[in-house]
Amino acid sequence: MAINNWYKDKVFYQIWPRSFKDGNGDGMGDLYGVYEKLDYIKSLGCDGIWFSPLYPSPGIDCGYDISDYMNIAEEFGGMDAFKKVLDGAHERGMKVIMDLVVNHTSDQHEWFQKSRRRIEPYTDYYIWRPAKPNGKLPNNWDSLFEGKAWAWDEVRGEYYMHLFAIQQADLNMDNPLVREEVKKILRFWLDMGVDGFREDVITFISKPEGLPDDKLMPASKGIFMFNHGPHLHEYLEEFHRDVFSKYDCMTLAESPLVTPKKALEYIDENNNPVLDMFIQFETQEADSFMTDYYHMPFNLRKLKRSYTKWQEKLDGKGWNMLYIENHDHPRMVSRYGSERFQKESGKMLAVSYLFQKGTPFIYQGQEIGMTNWYPSDPEMYEDVQTRWQYFNVATKKSPEKRLKRLWDGSRDSARTPVQWSAEENAGFTTGTPWFYINENYKDINVADQEKDENSVLNFYRRAIKLRKELSSVKNGNYKEHGKMSSSFYTYSREDDREKLLIVCSFTEKTKKWSVPAGFDLASAELLLSNYDKLDGTTLKPYETRVYRWTK
Ligand code: GLC
Ligand code: CA
């Protein structure tokens, strides 16, 4: 646990290294690029960085398939570049957290290479099962990325489990030696000065005894069995007891399908917490189910129910992590906002979550309102999950419909390089970019927005600054108003010094907003809005306002 709960005052910026900034001209984002941009990140008001994996990796899942946990990939600049960035961040008062990916390793990791050859002590580091006499797989679980959850290994003559890509083999966390390895990794980075971890799909690490078949019929077989498995709490408690409790660090657990009730089993501050915060998926599901591949029209009321549920249920017990974007989900302007009103909706989306209670995270490019990417050919996609869906899953849908589905749902929509300027390759690299640049970079880029006082970028700066100044945002009471509205999200925050009223319009229409009872706008101070001129209580497309009453 972080001493003094310092993470409660921070605003984090997530870096997905490949696409952030290329510093050495080879086309791949790297830590030299990050170093150049530390002041930029700081200028947003962010004082924490979460790095998606920087470790050596074959890159099957863009770094989430790790082959060496105690090193930094050469392509990102190696350990020297990392230490420089870490020091640079600390000098600027920024914390740095790393991605801890220990549900699985790359099949190129030394442990796997030895395990498949039954070299001790690695034999039981992974989840191996012999072939069944009837030719069936060890169980009926699905991989989230590629077909079934089992791959045959010729070397060992057994199946191994992979809940993600075939080259991402699941570790056997029931083996105490594996848990010792995890602790070694944690100590290694914490001793170096890292301030905590975002723990990748950490709620998948404990598989049920005997790996029974999933008898339910979910879209993804097995997920309700291996998510929050039988020994999860015990293992997290062990990591906490043996490592985290000895450092001033924070832990953030990623967990698909987590509910506030489940989360509180781990983060309740009054009840021996073993983690600090959770990344929940519910707020991503207002236009999709479980993964983004089941795309549906955006439903504001669903989003509001989820926002309010997490605000209320965790209140006084646990701490929320707040986000709208990360590297696993398409861009929000294109989903809950509108590309036609890119500027207005980009700003409104910021306000929709930045004034809630919790620790906000901003994903690279979100601060300029980057949008989805619309390639003409499915071959242009890079993401392993997207490719499997398109090329391997049988469907009767037309190619046009299937391509549209990728546009709406692929993780690659949020993985195009950050648009730094209107110059060649959006200023991301002087070389040939490793991935496609979104064609709209001449209209949406950092350099132009720096010069424009009314840009999305400068709006983020103002919103973050306000968030830090307003006492009620940190600890005040949260209340949602007008819950039935399918156009407006209205919420208030209140403490003994002030009261805030925040409204966010999620519609392209100009519409009348009914001010909740007890809030007299005539005596309010308008702190923030995304239009120059206000028209009473009629809100323009994607309009947002933050009002304050001082007590
Ligand atoms: C997490 C990561 C995602 C990765 C997966 C497997 O969901 O955020 O990018 O592909 O885990 O490690
Ligand atoms: Ca580079």
For 547, list phi and psi in degrees, rounded to 5: -110, 150
Task: Output b/e per residue, 356-390; b: 16+ Cβ within 10 A.
Answer: bbbbbbbbbbbbbbbbbbebeebeebbbbbbbbbb
Tell me the per-residue pLDDT of 219-231, one tens digit each, with 9 for 90 and over.
789 999 999 999 9
Q: Which ligand is nearest to the CA of 200?
A: 1
Catalytic residue among 200, 282, 285, 325: 200
State the sign of the Cα–Cα–Cα–Cα dihedral 295, 298, 304, 307: positive
Report which of 358, 351, 399 is spatially closest to residue 379, judged by C-alpha positions.
399
Whether the bond into 433 is cis, omega within 30 of 0: no
The residues placing their C-beta within 5 Å of ligand 2, an ion, are: 22, 24, 26, 28, 30
**Structure confidence at residue 291 as a pLDDT band (50, 70, 90):** low
Nearest listed ligand to the Cα of residue 16 = 1
pLDDT, tens digit, for every residue of 457-473?
999 999 999 999 999 99
pLDDT band at 112 (very low <50, low <70, confident <90, very high): very high
The verdict on the CB of residue 287 being under 6 Å from ligand 1 is no
**Is the CB–ligand 1 distance for residue 66 below 6 Å?**
no
Ligand nearest to the CA of 76: 2
pLDDT at residue 218, as a whole number: 78
pLDDT of 7 higher than 90? yes
Q: Tell me how far the alpha carbon of residue 76 lies from the centroid of ligand 2, in angstroms.
A: 6
Q: Judge if the beta carbon of residue 292 lies within 6 A of ligand 1.
A: no
The CB of 201 under 6 Å from ligand 1? The reply is yes
What is residue 219's predicted lDDT score, i.e. its pLDDT? 77
Q: How far apart are the C-alpha atoms of 108 and 168, rounded to whole Å?
A: 9
Ligand 1 atom with the smallest distance to the CA of 326 is 8
SS3 call for 290: coil
**Are 114 and 65 spatial neighbours (Cβ–Cβ below 8 Å)?**
no
Burial degree of 482 (CB within 10 A; 0-12, 13-18, 19+): middle
Q: Helix 384-392 and helix 399-409: axis angle, to 10°?
A: 160
Active site residue 200: yes
Structure confidence by residue, pLDDT tens digits, 147-178? 999 999 999 999 999 999 999 999 999 999 99
**How many Å lie between the centroid of ligand 1 and the Cα of residue 239?**
21
Q: What is the DSSP string of 454-513?
A: TSHHHHHHHHHHHHHH-HHHHHSEEEEE-TT-SSEEEEEEE-SSEEEEEEEE--SS-EE-
Give the containing element (helix H, strand E) for 277. Answer: strand 277-279
200 lines ligand 1 (CB under 6 A): yes
Q: Is 93 exposed, middle or buried (0-12, 13-18, 19+ CB in 10 A)?
A: exposed
pLDDT bin (cut points 50, 70, 90) of residue 181 is: very high
* pLDDT tens digit sequence for 526-537: 999 999 999 999
254 is catalytic: yes
Which secondary-structure segment (H or E) carries 232? helix 232-242
Protein residue with its CA nearest to atom 3 in ligand 1: 328
Residue 395 binned pLDDT confidence (cut-offs 50, 70, 90): confident
**Cα-based torsion angle of the residue sequence 340, 346, 349, 355 in order, rounded to the nearest 10 degrees:** -150
* Confidence at 217, pLDDT banded by 50, 70, 90: confident
Beta strands in 321-370 (DSSP E): 321-322, 359-363
Q: Give the Å distance between the CA of 107 and the centre of ligand 2.
A: 25
Q: Is 250 helix (H, G, I), strand (E, B) or coil?
A: strand
Q: Give 489: exposed, middle or buried? Use CB within 10 Å, 0-12, 13-18, 19+.
A: buried
Residue 103 alpha carbon, nearest atom of ligand 1:
12
Residue 363 Cβ contacting ligand 1 at under 6 Å: no
CA of 79 to the centre of ligand 2 (A): 14
> Quick one: pLDDT at residue 49?
98
Q: Which ligand ends up closest to the CA of 74? A: 2
Q: Does the pLDDT of residue 498 top 80, yes or no?
A: yes
Atom of ligand 1 nearest to the CA of 101: 12
CA angle, residues 369, 375, 377, in degrees to nearest 5:
165
The mean predicted confidence, pLDDT, of the chain is 96
Position 87 scores a pLDDT of 98
The reply to whether ligand 1 has any atom less than 6 angstroms from the CB of 13 is no
Q: Compute the distance between CA of residue 342 and CA of residue 412 in angstroms, rounded to an integer.
A: 19
What DSSP state is assigned to residue 253?
Answer: E
Q: How far is the CA of 33 from the centre of ligand 2 (A)?
A: 8
**Closest listed ligand to the CA of 205:** 1
Give the active site residue among 107, 254, 282, 292: 254
Q: List the residue whose alpha carbon is closest to atom 2 of ligand 1.
A: 200
User: Would you say residue 292 has pLDDT above 60?
Assistant: no
Q: How far is CA 137 from CA 113, 118, 149, 412, in A?
A: 22, 21, 9, 31
Q: For residue 129, what are the β-bridge partners?
A: 159
Res 232: pLDDT: 98
Q: What is the pLDDT of residue 252?
A: 98
Positive or negative, the CA dihedral 51, 65, 416, 387 is: negative
**50-107 confidence digits (pLDDT tens):** 999 999 999 999 999 999 999 999 999 999 999 999 999 999 999 999 999 999 999 9
**How far does the centroid of ligand 1 lie from the alpha carbon of residue 201, in Å?**
7
Pick the CATH number of 6-103+176-373+416-460 from 3.20.20.80, 3.10.20.30, 2.60.40.10, 3.30.70.600: 3.20.20.80
CATH 1.20.1300.10 matches 475-550: no
At 290, the pLDDT band (50, 70, 90 cuts) reads low
Q: Residue whose CA is closest, atom 9 of ligand 1?
A: 328
State how far Cα 242 lies from the chain centre.
27
Tell me, using a 6 A CB cutoff, whether residue 414 lines ligand 1.
no
* CA gap 238, 62 in Å, rounded: 29
Specify the pLDDT at position 393: 84
> Among 185, 219, 6, which residue's Cα sits nearest to residue 96?
6
Residue pair 418/20 in contact by the 8 Å Cβ criterion = yes
Q: What are phi and psi of 477, to 5 degrees?
A: -70, 145
**Ranges of each domain in the chain:** 6-103+176-373+416-460, 110-169, 475-550
Query: How far apart, in whole angstroms, are the C-alpha atoms of residue 422 and residue 441?
Result: 6
Nearest-angstrom CA–CA distance, 309 and 220:
25
Atom of ligand 1 nearest to the CA of 164: 6
Q: What percentage of residues in the chain have a pLDDT greater than 90? A: 94
Of 255, 201, 269, 205, the closest CA to residue 233 belongs to: 205
Q: Who wins on pLDDT, 2 or 41?
A: 41
Site to probe by mutation for ligand 1, drawn from 57, 104, 200 as the one with most ligand atoms within 8 Å of Cβ, is: 200
**Rounded Cα–Cα distance for residues 98 and 70 (Å):** 12
Q: Is the CB of 61 under 6 A from ligand 1?
A: yes
How many Å apart are CA 328 and CA 306, to the nearest integer? 19
Superfamily of domain 110-169 in CATH is Oligo-1,6-glucosidase; Domain 2 (3.90.400.10)
